[in-house]
Structure 1
Amino acid sequence: MNDITILIDQLKDQYLLIIIILSLIPTIYAINFSNREDDERGEKITSKAYQMTYFFFLAAIFAVFIYNSFSNVAFKNFRTLIMISLFLSNFFLGSTIFILNKKY
Protein backbone atom coordinates (compact mmCIF):
# COMPACT_ATOMS: atom_id res chain seq x y z
CA MET A 1 0.00 0.00 0.00
CA ASN A 2 2.90 2.35 0.73
CA ASP A 3 4.29 1.87 -2.79
CA ILE A 4 0.99 2.98 -4.31
CA THR A 5 0.94 6.21 -2.29
CA ILE A 6 4.54 6.94 -3.34
CA LEU A 7 3.56 6.37 -6.98
CA ILE A 8 0.55 8.67 -6.66
CA ASP A 9 2.72 11.38 -5.07
CA GLN A 10 5.21 11.11 -7.92
CA LEU A 11 2.41 11.39 -10.48
CA LYS A 12 1.11 14.50 -8.72
CA ASP A 13 4.53 16.07 -9.11
CA GLN A 14 4.62 15.25 -12.82
CA TYR A 15 1.04 16.20 -13.77
CA LEU A 16 2.13 18.72 -16.40
CA LEU A 17 4.22 16.11 -18.20
CA ILE A 18 1.27 13.71 -18.13
CA ILE A 19 -1.02 16.36 -19.63
CA ILE A 20 1.54 17.10 -22.36
CA ILE A 21 1.86 13.43 -23.28
CA LEU A 22 -1.91 12.93 -23.26
CA SER A 23 -2.43 15.98 -25.47
CA LEU A 24 0.17 14.78 -27.99
CA ILE A 25 -1.89 11.78 -29.04
CA PRO A 26 -4.94 13.74 -30.30
CA THR A 27 -2.69 16.45 -31.73
CA ILE A 28 -0.82 13.90 -33.83
CA TYR A 29 -4.20 12.53 -34.95
CA ALA A 30 -5.31 16.04 -35.95
CA ILE A 31 -2.13 16.63 -37.95
CA ASN A 32 -2.43 13.23 -39.62
CA PHE A 33 -6.10 13.87 -40.43
CA SER A 34 -5.46 17.30 -41.93
CA ASN A 35 -2.70 15.91 -44.15
CA ARG A 36 -4.84 12.97 -45.27
CA GLU A 37 -8.22 14.63 -45.87
CA ASP A 38 -8.02 17.28 -48.61
CA ASP A 39 -11.61 17.09 -49.82
CA GLU A 40 -14.61 19.22 -48.86
CA ARG A 41 -15.59 16.90 -46.03
CA GLY A 42 -12.13 17.10 -44.45
CA GLU A 43 -12.07 20.88 -44.74
CA LYS A 44 -15.50 21.09 -43.11
CA ILE A 45 -14.41 18.86 -40.24
CA THR A 46 -11.17 20.73 -39.59
CA SER A 47 -12.86 24.11 -39.88
CA LYS A 48 -15.57 23.16 -37.39
CA ALA A 49 -13.02 21.60 -35.03
CA TYR A 50 -10.79 24.67 -35.06
CA GLN A 51 -13.80 26.94 -34.44
CA MET A 52 -14.84 24.89 -31.43
CA THR A 53 -11.28 24.65 -30.12
CA TYR A 54 -10.74 28.39 -30.45
CA PHE A 55 -13.87 29.02 -28.37
CA PHE A 56 -12.74 26.43 -25.81
CA PHE A 57 -9.29 28.01 -25.55
CA LEU A 58 -10.70 31.52 -25.11
CA ALA A 59 -13.13 30.28 -22.45
CA ALA A 60 -10.27 28.53 -20.63
CA ILE A 61 -8.07 31.64 -20.71
CA PHE A 62 -11.00 33.75 -19.53
CA ALA A 63 -11.60 31.31 -16.67
CA VAL A 64 -7.92 31.52 -15.69
CA PHE A 65 -8.07 35.32 -15.59
CA ILE A 66 -11.30 35.26 -13.59
CA TYR A 67 -9.73 32.80 -11.15
CA ASN A 68 -6.68 35.06 -10.90
CA SER A 69 -8.80 38.11 -10.15
CA PHE A 70 -10.53 36.40 -7.23
CA SER A 71 -7.44 34.83 -5.74
CA ASN A 72 -4.03 36.27 -6.42
CA VAL A 73 -2.15 33.43 -8.05
CA ALA A 74 1.64 33.38 -8.12
CA PHE A 75 3.23 33.80 -11.53
CA LYS A 76 4.46 30.20 -11.64
CA ASN A 77 0.96 28.86 -10.96
CA PHE A 78 -0.57 31.32 -13.43
CA ARG A 79 1.86 30.16 -16.12
CA THR A 80 1.03 26.55 -15.31
CA LEU A 81 -2.70 27.26 -15.66
CA ILE A 82 -2.12 28.89 -19.05
CA MET A 83 -0.04 25.91 -20.21
CA ILE A 84 -2.70 23.48 -19.00
CA SER A 85 -5.30 25.47 -20.96
CA LEU A 86 -3.15 25.27 -24.08
CA PHE A 87 -2.55 21.54 -23.79
CA LEU A 88 -6.19 20.81 -23.00
CA SER A 89 -7.13 22.82 -26.08
CA ASN A 90 -4.85 20.62 -28.18
CA PHE A 91 -6.48 17.57 -26.62
CA PHE A 92 -9.90 19.09 -27.35
CA LEU A 93 -8.91 19.72 -30.99
CA GLY A 94 -7.88 16.13 -31.64
CA SER A 95 -10.92 14.77 -29.85
CA THR A 96 -13.26 17.07 -31.77
CA ILE A 97 -11.76 16.03 -35.11
CA PHE A 98 -12.11 12.38 -34.12
CA ILE A 99 -15.77 12.83 -33.13
CA LEU A 100 -16.63 14.91 -36.20
CA ASN A 101 -14.89 12.38 -38.44
CA LYS A 102 -17.19 9.69 -37.05
CA LYS A 103 -20.22 11.97 -37.35
CA TYR A 104 -19.80 13.14 -40.98
Structure 2
Amino acid sequence: MNYEENAKLIKALADASRLKIVDILSCGEMCACDIQEYFDFTQPTLSHHMKVLIDCGLVEVRKEGIWNYYYLNNNNCNKVILNLMNLVTETEKCICKDKSNCNCE
Protein backbone atom coordinates (compact mmCIF):
# COMPACT_ATOMS: atom_id res chain seq x y z
CA MET A 1 0.00 0.00 0.00
CA ASN A 2 1.31 3.43 -0.90
CA TYR A 3 0.59 5.47 2.22
CA GLU A 4 1.82 8.77 0.75
CA GLU A 5 -0.44 8.51 -2.29
CA ASN A 6 -3.43 7.50 -0.18
CA ALA A 7 -2.79 10.32 2.27
CA LYS A 8 -2.79 12.83 -0.60
CA LEU A 9 -6.17 11.56 -1.77
CA ILE A 10 -7.65 11.51 1.72
CA LYS A 11 -6.29 14.99 2.44
CA ALA A 12 -7.97 16.28 -0.73
CA LEU A 13 -11.26 14.82 0.46
CA ALA A 14 -10.85 16.15 4.00
CA ASP A 15 -12.49 19.42 3.02
CA ALA A 16 -16.27 19.81 3.08
CA SER A 17 -16.35 21.87 -0.14
CA ARG A 18 -14.31 19.30 -2.03
CA LEU A 19 -16.51 16.48 -0.75
CA LYS A 20 -19.51 18.44 -2.00
CA ILE A 21 -17.83 18.90 -5.40
CA VAL A 22 -17.26 15.14 -5.65
CA ASP A 23 -20.92 14.60 -4.75
CA ILE A 24 -22.01 17.11 -7.41
CA LEU A 25 -19.79 15.51 -10.05
CA SER A 26 -21.12 12.06 -9.20
CA CYS A 27 -24.16 13.13 -11.27
CA GLY A 28 -21.96 13.63 -14.33
CA GLU A 29 -19.73 16.13 -16.09
CA MET A 30 -20.31 19.81 -15.30
CA CYS A 31 -18.83 23.13 -16.28
CA ALA A 32 -17.28 25.33 -13.60
CA CYS A 33 -20.13 27.83 -13.79
CA ASP A 34 -22.69 25.13 -12.94
CA ILE A 35 -20.61 23.85 -10.02
CA GLN A 36 -20.17 27.43 -8.79
CA GLU A 37 -23.94 27.77 -8.31
CA TYR A 38 -23.79 25.38 -5.33
CA PHE A 39 -21.35 27.57 -3.38
CA ASP A 40 -21.09 31.03 -1.86
CA PHE A 41 -17.37 31.40 -2.53
CA THR A 42 -15.58 33.09 -5.43
CA GLN A 43 -14.51 31.59 -8.73
CA PRO A 44 -10.80 31.64 -7.70
CA THR A 45 -11.71 29.61 -4.61
CA LEU A 46 -13.54 27.08 -6.79
CA SER A 47 -10.49 26.95 -9.07
CA HIS A 48 -8.29 26.18 -6.07
CA HIS A 49 -10.55 23.32 -4.96
CA MET A 50 -10.69 21.94 -8.50
CA LYS A 51 -6.89 22.09 -8.78
CA VAL A 52 -6.49 20.07 -5.58
CA LEU A 53 -8.95 17.44 -6.84
CA ILE A 54 -7.29 17.33 -10.27
CA ASP A 55 -3.74 17.16 -8.86
CA CYS A 56 -4.59 14.12 -6.75
CA GLY A 57 -6.32 12.44 -9.69
CA LEU A 58 -9.91 12.32 -8.42
CA VAL A 59 -11.23 14.82 -10.98
CA GLU A 60 -10.32 15.38 -14.61
CA VAL A 61 -10.98 18.39 -16.82
CA ARG A 62 -11.96 18.69 -20.46
CA LYS A 63 -11.60 22.03 -22.19
CA GLU A 64 -14.10 23.12 -24.81
CA GLY A 65 -13.45 26.61 -26.11
CA ILE A 66 -13.23 28.89 -23.09
CA TRP A 67 -15.16 26.47 -20.84
CA ASN A 68 -13.76 23.84 -18.49
CA TYR A 69 -15.83 20.73 -17.96
CA TYR A 70 -15.04 18.62 -14.90
CA TYR A 71 -15.78 14.96 -14.28
CA LEU A 72 -14.82 12.28 -11.77
CA ASN A 73 -12.03 9.84 -12.51
CA ASN A 74 -14.07 6.84 -11.42
CA ASN A 75 -11.07 4.50 -11.38
CA ASN A 76 -9.22 6.66 -8.86
CA CYS A 77 -12.37 7.29 -6.82
CA ASN A 78 -12.90 3.53 -6.57
CA LYS A 79 -9.24 3.04 -5.59
CA VAL A 80 -9.69 5.40 -2.63
CA ILE A 81 -12.70 3.42 -1.45
CA LEU A 82 -10.95 0.07 -1.87
CA ASN A 83 -7.73 1.25 -0.21
CA LEU A 84 -9.61 2.54 2.83
CA MET A 85 -11.61 -0.65 3.04
CA ASN A 86 -8.45 -2.77 2.81
CA LEU A 87 -6.70 -0.61 5.39
CA VAL A 88 -9.27 -1.39 8.05
CA THR A 89 -10.30 -4.92 7.11
CA GLU A 90 -7.31 -6.83 5.69
CA THR A 91 -5.61 -8.16 8.80
CA GLU A 92 -3.67 -10.77 6.79
CA LYS A 93 -1.70 -7.97 5.14
CA CYS A 94 -1.31 -5.91 8.32
CA ILE A 95 2.16 -4.34 8.53
CA CYS A 96 2.46 -5.40 12.16
CA LYS A 97 1.59 -9.04 11.43
CA ASP A 98 5.13 -10.22 12.18
CA LYS A 99 5.32 -8.44 15.54
CA SER A 100 4.37 -10.37 18.62
CA ASN A 101 2.63 -7.41 20.27
CA CYS A 102 0.22 -6.76 17.40
CA ASN A 103 -3.51 -6.78 18.18
CA CYS A 104 -4.43 -7.38 14.54
CA GLU A 105 -6.27 -10.63 15.09
Query: Bigger relative contact order, structure 1 or 2, given CA contacts below 8 A and separation 6+?
Result: 1
What TM-score do the two structures reach when normalised by structure 2? 0.28
TM-score (norm 1): 0.29
Which protein is richer in helix relative to its size?
1
Higher strand share: 2
